[in-house]
C-alpha cells in the first residue's frame, strides 16, 4: 500500500510574521520547518490551516505564486479558529495542507486581456494573489483596473501595499479605485458601495472581470456588470463554503453536483449560473 499519499495529514507550518492589517484582519506569513515555502500554488487556490485541538479551515493563499519565500494568509476574525489564529505570535507552529481547488486561469483565459478586479472587504485576499501575479508578469496582460471597497479606511486590507506598490507612479497601467461605505475624516476618496462605484466608473466591456467579496456585493456587482454589457463568460468569482477534507470526499461543500473544494473555488459566472442557488 502506498502510505505516501497524505490526503488528510498536514505538514507543520511556522508562522514567521503576524501583521495586524485592519482592526479585524491579520496577515500571517508561513514557511515550512525548513524555512522554505511549504506549498506551491496558483492564484485562487486554497489551503487548510489548522491549530490542532481548535479546528481546521480552508483559507485562500493570498500571496502570489511568484513569491518564492513564503505563503501568506489574510484572515478575518469571525469564528472559533480565526479567534485563536488572531492570538498567535510569530514563531508559533500551525499545520497546513494543500493546495486545494482550481485557480484563476491567469495563464490561459486571462492572458492578453484587460482585467477588472473587483473586491470587497477581506474578499481582496484571493484576488490579491491574482493582482500580484499579473503585476509580476506585467507584459502578459493589458490594462488592470482594481475596484476595492470596505466599510472604512481602516478596514481596507493591504492598504500600505495598495498605496505604496499598486498605486505607485512606477506601475504600468494599473489603476486602483478605492471606496469606503461611509464618509469619514482623513478620507478624500470615493464614498459609496462597490457595485454603485463600478457602475459610476463605467468600464468598457472588452475585458475580464474578477469578483470577490460578500455575497450581497457579488450579487449587485454582477447585476451592475451585466447592465453595462458584460457577459457571464467574462466574469469570474470564487466561492466559499464549509469544507472539511478539501478533496471532494467529505461531502459538504457541494453546490449541485460541483464541489467547491475540488471543482472550484473559482467559477466562471456562466458555470455558476447553471448550478442551483445554494451558496
The 8-class DSSP code of residue 61 comes to B
31 is a contact residue toward other proteins (CB under 8 A): no
Identify the residue among 79, 136, 184, 270 touching other proteins (CB under 8 A). Answer: 79
Strand, helix or coil at 130? helix
CA 253 – CA 246 distance, rounded (Å): 9
Q: Smallest gap, in angstroms, from Cβ of residue 275 to other proteins? A: 8
Q: Which is nearer to other proteins, 33 or 138 (CB)?
A: 33
Identify the residue among 93, 160, 173, 270 touching other proteins (CB under 8 A). Answer: 93
In the chain, what's the furthest Cα-to-Cα distance? 64
Pairing of the two strands 174-180 and 190-191: parallel
Q: How many residues bind other proteins (CB under 8 A)?
A: 43
275 is a contact residue toward other proteins (CB under 8 A): yes
Q: C-alpha grid cell for residue 133?
A: 501575479
> How many whole angstroms from its chain centre is CA 206?
23
Q: Which is nearer to other proteins, 35 or 229 (CB)?
A: 35
CA 220 – CA 211 distance, rounded (Å): 11
* Nearest CA-CA partner of 31 in 40, 44, 22, 20: 40
Which span sits near other proteins by CB under 8 A: 18-26, 49-57, 63-71, 177-185? 49-57
Q: Smallest gap, in angstroms, from Cβ of residue 176 to other proteins? A: 26
Q: Do residues 171 and 165 touch, judged by C-beta distance below 8 A?
A: yes
Q: Which is nearer to other proteins, 186 or 257 (CB)?
A: 257
Q: Which is nearer to other proteins, 29 or 177 (CB)?
A: 29
2 is a contact residue toward other proteins (CB under 8 A): yes
Facing residues of 120 across strands?
149
Residue ranges of alpha helices (H) inside the chain are 80-85, 124-136, 159-161, 194-201, 215-227, 269-273
Q: Do residues 165 and 212 touch, judged by C-beta distance below 8 A?
A: no
String of contacts with other proteins for each residue 179-198, x by CB under 8 A: --------------------
Which span sits near other proteins by CB under 8 A: 48-56, 63-71, 192-200, 217-225? 48-56
Q: Do residues 183 and 191 touch, judged by C-beta distance below 8 A?
A: yes
CA 127 – CA 149 distance, rounded (Å): 13
95 is a contact residue toward other proteins (CB under 8 A): yes
Q: Smallest gap, in angstroms, from Cβ of residue 217 to other proteins? A: 13
Q: Please, which of residues 209-268 interact with other proteins by CB under 8 A?
A: 240-242, 244-245, 247, 249-254, 256-257
Residues that bind other proteins (CB under 8 A): 1-3, 5-12, 52-56, 78-80, 82, 91-95, 240-242, 244-245, 247, 249-254, 256-257, 275-276, 278-279
Amino acid at each position: 500500500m502506498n502510505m505516501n499519499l497524505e490526503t488528510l495529514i498536514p505538514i507543520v507550518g511556522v508562522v514567521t510574521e503576524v501583521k495586524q492589517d485592519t482592526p479585524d484582519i491579520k496577515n500571517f506569513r508561513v514557511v515550512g520547518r525548513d524555512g522554505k515555502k511549504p506549498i506551491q500554488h496558483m492564484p485562487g487556490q486554497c489551503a487548510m490551516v489548522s491549530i490542532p485541538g481548535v479546528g481546521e479551515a480552508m483559507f485562500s493563499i493570498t500571496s502570489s505564486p511568484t513569491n518564492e519565500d513564503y505563503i501568506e494568509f489574510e484572515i478575518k476574525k469571525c469564528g472559533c479558529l480565526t479567534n485563536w489564529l488572531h492570538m498567535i505570535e510569530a514563531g508559533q507552529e500551525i499545520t497546513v495542507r494543500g493546495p486545494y481547488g482550481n485557480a484563476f486561469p491567469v495563464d490561459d483565459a486571462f492572458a492578453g486581456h484587460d482585467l477588472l478586479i473587483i473586491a470587497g472587504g477581506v474578499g481582496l485576499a484571493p484576488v490579491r494573489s491574482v493582482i500580484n501575479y499579473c503585476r509580476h508578469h506585467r507584459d502578459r496582460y493589458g490594462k488592470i483596473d482594481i475596484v476595492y471597497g470596505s466599510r472604512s479606511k481602516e478596514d481596507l486590507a493591504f492598504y500600505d501595499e495598495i498605496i505604496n506598490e499598486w498605486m505607485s507612479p512606477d506601475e504600468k497601467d494599473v489603476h486602483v479605485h478605492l471606496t469606503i461605505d461611509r464618509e469619514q475624516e482623513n478620507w478624500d476618496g470615493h464614498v459609496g458601495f462597490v457595485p454603485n462605484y463600478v457602475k459610476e466608473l463605467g468600464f468598457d466591456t472588452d475585458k475580464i472581470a474578477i469578483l470577490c467579496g460578500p455575497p450581497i456585493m457579488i450579487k449587485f456587482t454582477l447585476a451592475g456588470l451585466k447592465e453595462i454589457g458584460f457577459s457571464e463568460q467574462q466574469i469570474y468569482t470564487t466561492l466559499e463554503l464549509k469544507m472539511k477534507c478539501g478533496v471532494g470526499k467529505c461531502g459538504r461543500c457541494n453546490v449541485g453536483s460541483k464541489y467547491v473544494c475540488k471543482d472550484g473555488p473559482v467559477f466562471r459566472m456562466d458555470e455558476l449560473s447553471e448550478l442551483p442557488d445554494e451558496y
